[in-house]
Every structure is written in C-alpha cells, then in structure tokens.
Amino acid sequence: MVATLFMAVFIGDFFHYWRHRLDHARLLWPSHAMHHSSEA
C-alpha cells in the first residue's frame, strides 16, 4: 500500500511537471501567462 501511494504521488507529480513545462511553450504560453502575472 505504501509503494502504491508512493507511485501514485510520483506519477502524478511527473505529469504535473511536464504539463507545466508544456504550458511554457510558445503555443500554450498565452493561456498560461496569467499564472505568472503579478496582478491577481
């Protein structure tokens, strides 16, 4: 069970990281730029 939880967290974090990296690509940046704006 601990190994399953570890793998679930690891895999989730892996995909979140790469999704965020793709958001910084030129094609997806316009929809992601608000995330980095100083105005909230």
Q: What is the pLDDT of residues 1-40, one digit of tens each?
A: 999 999 999 999 999 999 999 999 999 998 888 888 877 5
pLDDT at 16: 97
- 14 φψ region: left (φ > 0), alpha (ψ -120 to 50), beta (else): alpha
pLDDT at 23: 92
Any idea where the domains of the chain sit in the sequence? Answer: 1-25
pLDDT at 31: 86
Which segments of 1-40 does DSSP mark as H helices, in order? 2-23, 29-32
Model-wide pTM > 0.85: no
